[in-house]
A and B are shown apart, each in its own frame.
Chain A
């Protein structure tokens, strides 16, 4: 694995992207870095739909569709039914779990 590669940590339903994965172990897929690729581009590359996705993290920070993925990034991908507990999807404004967000407090 090159130092530039992307390290994708997968959880819940998304583990199926790696054959033989187990729910009680880390499930990691590596992908080649693509210059100027956004998070939504990466989701396309993984052949996932936006509706499959819950809270996801880029180097430990909640990621939004237009964020550009840097070299050597660690991404944590959680499915739509794994989100930070307390609701407030409208506070997050990432538009995944709930698409009709009217407020993005954290633009």
Chain B
């Protein structure tokens, strides 16, 4: 994997480059963030020609390492104004990995163009194709059309209606393995709008003629990946579907990430009705267990015609299979795929909506429009905070979101423009954002360590940037006392650095469930990376290098420590049922990056 494809949209040209010698160990987030930090002026307007889009498959994408086919997308974010990386499964990471493409760098923009383009990447080839017929389509229709035009079953990523209109709620969509849903989103940061600014609808990755990337030490790599698979399969979270008695075993395979909804609600950390409570009394109705039950019931009713699934893989070679296909109850046909914890929270509990069908429909609309579900859910909450829609009203929320199809609708534009923009326009003072990006599904008042991550990560409020939740949950009340003096800042920094490493390998972040519990699993994971590269990589220092570059980019873009804070209401409004506020001192927040 040693080629970089550089595309200039100003003159619609491309060239192939070799990976720079000093970039040999960089892929995924490391490649996107370091390229941006070296090549993009941090003060540029994110939706004009000076910004760049960088796409990079994780280091191990395309290999037989389990659950390693993820891909990163990076750019200066129109939502946060800082550096951004978002990653996703789907097909593109694996296809690019097998084609030997380390990264795609897209620069410039067609001057005064009204045309739309797509980029076809294949083995030793690239074409920039005028595709005006792809623009303005709903994404379910678009991915179907592309697979008809390109029968080789390519990976597809790009922008939907929202991104093409340069709206900040826009994510980068991706098709799933079956091409039945565009729901594999690198969702956060409004990166879909950067595609729109460069007049790009889709990047189409045709893996024909590709080969499996070879490790520098293939024998060690193969041995390590086998140990890692065994470790993942044995773990109660990441493991096999059923136990020997046929009872549900692996939490992720059975209930998906949405296994968390009931747990966070019980822990008092599930933001409910616009971050006004930490517990949702109707969580069970939209939980992972409810989806599991719906799939089973529709299978029983419709037999072979039922399309609902759990234990569904988000990318080829994923052994954890936490994705799902949620069916319509009355037909058994696919409604949306996947329906994940963050989306169920953003479009369900956060809005007080407890009808599973309504939550799935909102998710499907986001997928079709090209919207990030977390940002869209928080944006709808602003309409509820402003009293324009009652909390809990699913049909009215659906009606609002459908206005986003209409280019002349101001409400449609607003609901696609992100939480901060909508909140300010509607006179809301409780706007849950950091660096302009909406908070995800863990309330920082009852789970303070994740609040430290939200506040300090260069990405804007982002749970995946340093997921301290399990380690923090015991610190809900009072001071955490521990024999190793592990402070919140240190904890968040350690998780942020490890996450940056994992985001660069192509591994799904969820391998952490297993590797943090099982030394054999951790060592095997690290061995796959080291044997692939032929050198020993120190996990934390690799991650910290990335964080330093990202932090430096944001500093040059104008960010200061003042931007590393949560909104005021988290410090002043106690959250039931624990009735706590976010009281981590500013000095502790500043510790995270002080000595990195």
Q: Which positions in A face B, CB cutoff 8 Å?
A: 9, 11-13, 22-27, 54-55, 57, 59-62, 76, 78, 80-92, 97-98, 103-107
Contacts and interface: CB of A to CB of B under 8 A. Distances in A.
B289 A12 contact: yes
B26 interface: no
B516 A60 contact: no
A90 B516 CA distance: 8
Given A60-B267, A60-B577, A84-B470, 18 more contacts: A12-B255, A55-B263, A62-B267, A78-B266, A80-B236, A81-B239, A81-B249, A82-B259, A84-B473, A85-B237, A85-B469, A87-B237, A87-B517, A91-B470, A91-B516, A92-B473, A105-B482, A106-B474
Contacts of A103: 483-484
Given A11-B262, A57-B266, A86-B512, A81 B248 contact: yes
- Which label, helix, strand, loop or mixed, suits the secondary structure of the A interface? loop
Contacts of A84: 260, 263, 267, 469-470, 473
B290 A24 contact: yes
B501 to A, nearest CB: 15
Interface in B522-555: none
Contact of A12 (B248, B475, B486): B248
A106 B480 contact: yes
A54 B285 contact: no
Contact of B471 (A23, A91, A97): A91
Contact of A105 (B247, B262, B484): B484
A24 to B, nearest CB: 4
A9 B237 contact: no
Given A57-B267, A85-B260, A62 B474 contact: yes
Contacts of B120: none
Given A13-B248, A23-B290, A97-B517, A92 B474 contact: yes
A24 B284 contact: yes
Contacts of B254: 81
B288 to A, nearest CB: 9
Contact of A23 (B239, B292, B476, B486): B292
A18 B553 CA distance: 55
B125 interface: no
A55 B265 CA distance: 13
B512 A87 contact: yes
A85 B468 CA distance: 10
Nearest to A64: B474
B474 A24 contact: no
A27 B287 CA distance: 13
B160 interface: no
B481 A106 contact: yes
B513 A86 contact: yes
A86 B248 contact: no
Interface string B250-273: 111011010110110011100000
Given A81-B237, A81-B250, A86 B467 contact: yes
A55 B266 CA distance: 10
Contacts of A25: 284-285
A30 to B, nearest CB: 16
Contacts of B474: 61-62, 92, 106
B515 interface: yes
B473 A105 contact: no
A23 B252 CA distance: 16
B578 interface: yes
Contact of A87 (B293, B446, B513, B577): B513
A87 B515 contact: yes
A102 to B, nearest CB: 11
Contacts of B470: 83-89, 91-92
Nearest to A56: B266
B92 to A, nearest CB: 25
Contacts of B515: 87
A23 B293 contact: yes
Given A60-B577, A92-B474, A105-B482, A85 B266 contact: no
Contacts of B468: 86
Contacts of A61: 267, 474, 476-477
Interface in B476-509: 476-477, 480-484, 486
A104 B474 CA distance: 11
A59 B517 CA distance: 26
Ranked nearest first, the 6 interchain pairs of A and B with the lowest CB-CB distance are A87-B516, A76-B266, A60-B268, A24-B290, A23-B289, A105-B482
Given A12-B289, A60-B578, A87 B263 contact: no
A100 B486 CA distance: 21
A78 B294 CA distance: 20
Nearest to A94: B474
A13 B477 CA distance: 29
A90 B480 CA distance: 15
B203 to A, nearest CB: 30
Nearest to A55: B263
Interface centre among A25, A27, A61, A78 (most CB of B within 10 A): A61
Nearest to B293: A23
Interface centre among A12, A24, A78 (most CB of B within 10 A): A24
Contact of B255 (A80, A82, A105): A82
19 contacts: A12-B248, A23-B284, A23-B290, A24-B284, A54-B236, A61-B476, A62-B267, A76-B266, A83-B236, A84-B470, A85-B260, A85-B469, A87-B514, A88-B516, A90-B516, A90-B517, A91-B471, A106-B480, A107-B481
